[in-house]
Structure 1
Amino acid sequence: MFRISQYMRELAHAEKTGHYPEAVHARRGSGGAPGPVVIWNLIRRCNLTCKHCYALSADHDYEGELSTSEVFGVMDDLKDYRVPVLILSGGEPLMRPDIFEIAERAKAMKFYTGLSTNGTLIDEAMADRVAATGFDYVGISLDGLRETHDHFRRLEGAFERSLAAVRHLHARSVKVGLRFTMTAMNAHDLPALLDLMRAEQVDKFYFSHLNYAGRGNIHRGKDAQFQATRNALDMLFERAWQAALEGREEDYVTGNNDADGPYLSQWVRARMPQWEAPLRERLVAWGGNSSGVNVANIDNLGSVHPDTMWWHHDLGNVRQRPFSAIWSDTSEPLMAGLKAHPRPVGGRCAQCHYFDLCGGNTRVRAQQLTGDAWAEDPGCYLRDDEIGLAAGSDASRVAVTPFRNARQTIRIVAGETHV
């Protein structure tokens, strides 16, 4: 996750005081560094069949999902491994009968506990339960205004139900965020959705770049083009900057494209060049892509993945080995590469002078398009001349081609990928 507002507040402080603020370092206990944020798809069933769903969910039961007692056992291991955050997701997590029992235990164990939901099931009674459980944060997906959102979610009335959920939760003082995944089919609604966020006094706006997983991979041919992506980031940067200057308690964050860090560095260079160097230090410390390092995923069957977009690559299953053992195992080739510093990436990513900021960006896009997890990320929207390469050489880049329903067997060994 790229925390735009955090950096904008630091820049606003620097502009006001003439000094860039000192970095705030989290306290680390004697047990060493904390474990990763865990996004946990507790259930695959969903009442919607969204066009960009990475889990390919549908409204029916899926066999073999973890039982309540199995979930509790995994939670004990996660706590011992110093995992700080659990994001309870799906499918639609509110369709899991024991979701509140799981969430209440997570809160009792002092995990920061989030809920990722489409919001359509949150009426006033459900909002009461969510509020009583004490979730630290609830993220609700909106893909645009009414017509666009209902089209994406394949359900007439989905927008009104999700917006009602935002209002129900806000009335109960639950911290709520909107999640928006941009493609060429909904980019036009971003300005209005940002206005809606402010009108509804929503706490956070999460802008997700399309990642090529599940239905998002099938629809990758409709991914937003690079200029549309840049326009969207310009809009988010300006909105977050003005919010920081005005002291608004709004958070703007992005995900699934770590070129956002270098792009912010360029934005600052053009407007406040005196702060580019200290900002770059912050961005290097951030380090870019966190897959396999600071963010992890457990799916509904207990399989562990480097993040939610890697469901086609299992690292192990918590029924056979503890999560802590799976996550620490660098004999697994993909994990060895993801945890390597620097990562063994190739192409333009390896030559980019922002490599220490973004870490080579999102590996799953490269793997889905080329079969090579270490190829350049085709979703990077920066031009070659902006990243230190010869101007005009972009023509040789990996192109985003439409999905073809052809099965491939992909084997990753020692930094190499074999198809």
Structure 2
Amino acid sequence: MLRISQYLRELAHAEQTGQWPAPSRRDSASAPGPVVIWNLIRRCNLTCKHCYALSADHDYAGELSRDEVFAVMDDLKAFHVPVLILSGGEPLMRPDLFDIADRAKRMGFYVGLSSNGTLIDPALADRIAAQGFDYVGISLDGLRETHDQFRRQSGAFERSLAALRLLRARGVKVGLRYTMTALNAHDFEPLLDLMRQEQVDKFYFSHLNYAGRGNIHRGKDAQFQSTRAALDRLYERAWQAARDGRDEEYVTGNNDADGPYLLQWVAARFARWAEPLRARLQAWGGNSSGVNVANIDNLGEVHPDTMWWHYGLGNVRARPFSQIWMDTRDPLMAGLKQRPRPVEGRCAQCQYLAICNGNTRTRAQQLTGNPWAEDPGCYLSDEEIGLPADAAKAAPRRATILLKEVGHA
């Protein structure tokens, strides 16, 4: 995840003082353990088009019991995991969710809740606020008509928007999550305006990744120029907020080319600060799947992140998470933890590899079968990434051909 606002606040400070601020102690130290996104339940009241979990409104057999969840939490705490993001399906459909959240808070985890928001009424909003979640993220994939089409349920937009309002009124830190595709790109800027109008704390811009229904619908992914235009607008909005001292957070996920693109955006406007920002982005290090971000699904299977549900590393019922996570006998985990990663093609030659770390790897694996192939979702040109002129004239790359086949080009 790229924390755009963090870097642009540093830029605003540099513009005001003439000096780029030193990283905080927290920023300069590596996380003690991975952030764990935990799909506690697969059941969901919606069947969204881009759901990586392919959830539906029925029970799924074999899910971890409360006692099993508690045992895993003990291991996560001992392994120094700092953050638990409780997700689904729709996590609010799990009867013992608040028992789990309460124990997590008492153990000292930062606890987030990832919800579609449609089940949150005033009474449930009271309970969420009383629970003390550190953050609640709610998905809005467009305005009313667009969102309801994505979520495949009439009225979903109004209920999700109502949930944001209910939580905000109770002092809960809330975020709006948006996944851009060619089908909802037209609502991106209106959603930015809605965020500010509703005084939402955070805007999370997610690129479509090729997993679950997102993989099925990858032919409808926004084209690269549309992506770049959206990011330009997002960076402009985040810069405006940083310059004006607004308490707004803008982040992106699922495409770590956003880091190099932010560097280019800043270099074109504030050239003298490009190198300090480059150093900060290299310290960030780009994609952290298999390193600083982990996923546990509803059945206890561990994955490098939520977009790798088709690839299991082991199950917490058989081995502790801490052992699974550090086991590099698995070739994918060995490669993900390697620095630099064993990427191929244009990724291997990219001048920004130290910043993006080869990106998510899911797109390459889904489209070519090779997790180390060049990333077909990278929207930076050959010239921008410093590819030699003769390489740019070479025969068409396999990933480019595949993109044409699924409608990207």
- Quick check: TM above 0.5? yes
Cα offset, 1:236, TM superposition:
0.5
Contact 2:140-2:177 at 8 Å conserved across structures = yes
**1:296 correspondence with 2:297:** no
Residue equivalent to 2:92: 94
Contact 1:240-1:251 at 8 Å conserved across structures = yes
Residue equivalent to 1:282: 280
Residue equivalent to 1:134: 132
Encode CA deviations 1:218-258: one digit per residue, 9 max, x unaligned: 00000000000000100000000000010000000000000
Cα offset, 1:396, TM superposition:
2.4
In 1, distance between residues paired with 2:236 and 2:229? 11
Encode CA deviations 1:310-349: one digit per residue, 9 max, x unaligned: 0000000000000000001011110000000110000100
Cα offset, 1:304, TM superposition:
0.0
Q: Secondary structure at the match of 2:280?
A: helix
Aligned partner of 1:222 among 220, 223, 234 = 220
In 1, distance between residues paired with 2:229 and 2:28? 39
**1:376 correspondence with 2:374:** yes
Contact 2:257-2:359 at 8 Å conserved across structures = yes
**1:332 correspondence with 2:330:** yes
Residue equivalent to 1:409: none
Give the 5 Å matches for 1:175-254: 175-254=173-252
Residue equivalent to 1:408: none
C-alpha change, 1:171 and 1:369, in structure 2 (3 Å) is same
Cα offset, 1:33, TM superposition:
5.3
In 2, distance between residues paired with 1:2 and 1:277? 18
In 2, distance between residues paired with 1:27 and 1:88? 24
Structure 1 runs not aligned, ≥5 long: 405-419
Q: Secondary structure at the match of 1:166?
A: helix
Q: Which moved more, 1:365-374 or 1:388-397?
A: 388-397
Encode CA deviations 1:84-126: one digit per residue, 9 max, x unaligned: 0000000000000000000000100010000000000000000
Cα offset, 1:25, TM superposition:
2.5
Q: Secondary structure at the match of 1:309?
A: helix
Q: Secondary structure at the match of 1:385?
A: coil
Aligned partner of 1:352 among 350, 358, 363 = 350
Encode CA deviations 1:148-188: one digit per residue, 9 max, x unaligned: 00000000000000000000000000000000000000000
Residue equivalent to 2:144: 146
C-alpha change, 1:178 and 1:27, in structure 2 (3 Å) is closer
In 1, distance between residues paired with 2:394 and 2:73? 46
In 1, distance between residues paired with 2:35 and 2:187? 30
In 1, distance between residues paired with 2:394 and 2:103? 51
Residue equivalent to 1:315: 313
In 1, distance between residues paired with 2:235 and 2:393? 28
C-alpha change, 1:111 and 1:94, in structure 2 (3 Å) is same
Contact 1:220-1:402 at 8 Å conserved across structures = no
- TM-score, L = length of structure 1: 0.94
Question: Number of matched residues?
Answer: 402
Structure 2 runs not aligned, ≥5 long: none
- TM-score, L = length of structure 2: 0.96
Give the 5 Å matches for 1:359-370: 359-370=357-368
Cα offset, 1:23, TM superposition:
1.0
Contact 2:118-2:163 at 8 Å conserved across structures = yes
Q: Secondary structure at the match of 2:113?
A: strand
Q: Secondary structure at the match of 2:252?
A: strand
In 1, distance between residues paired with 2:386 and 2:27? 36
Could you tell me which amino acid in structure 1 is paired with residue 2 of structure 2? F
Contact 1:13-1:20 at 8 Å conserved across structures = yes
Cα offset, 1:15, TM superposition:
0.2
Residue equivalent to 1:8: 8
Higher helix fraction: Structure 1 or Structure 2? 2
In 2, distance between residues paired with 1:182 and 1:33? 29
Could you tell me which amino acid in structure 1 is paired with residue 7 of structure 2? Y
Aligned-residue identity in percent: 76
Cα offset, 1:362, TM superposition:
1.4
Residue equivalent to 2:51: 53
Contact 2:49-2:213 at 8 Å conserved across structures = yes
In 2, distance between residues paired with 1:403 and 1:19? 47
C-alpha change, 1:86 and 1:395, in structure 2 (3 Å) is farther
Contact 1:169-1:176 at 8 Å conserved across structures = yes
Residue equivalent to 1:416: none
Cα offset, 1:395, TM superposition:
7.5
In 1, distance between residues paired with 2:230 and 2:396? 25
Residue equivalent to 2:120: 122
C-alpha change, 1:73 and 1:196, in structure 2 (3 Å) is same
Residue equivalent to 1:413: none
Encode CA deviations 1:279-337: one digit per residue, 9 max, x unaligned: 00000000000100000000000000000000000000000000000001011110000
Cα offset, 1:26, TM superposition:
2.0
In 1, distance between residues paired with 2:127 and 2:382? 51
In 1, distance between residues paired with 2:396 and 2:101? 49
Contact 1:41-1:299 at 8 Å conserved across structures = yes
In 2, distance between residues paired with 1:194 and 1:216? 23
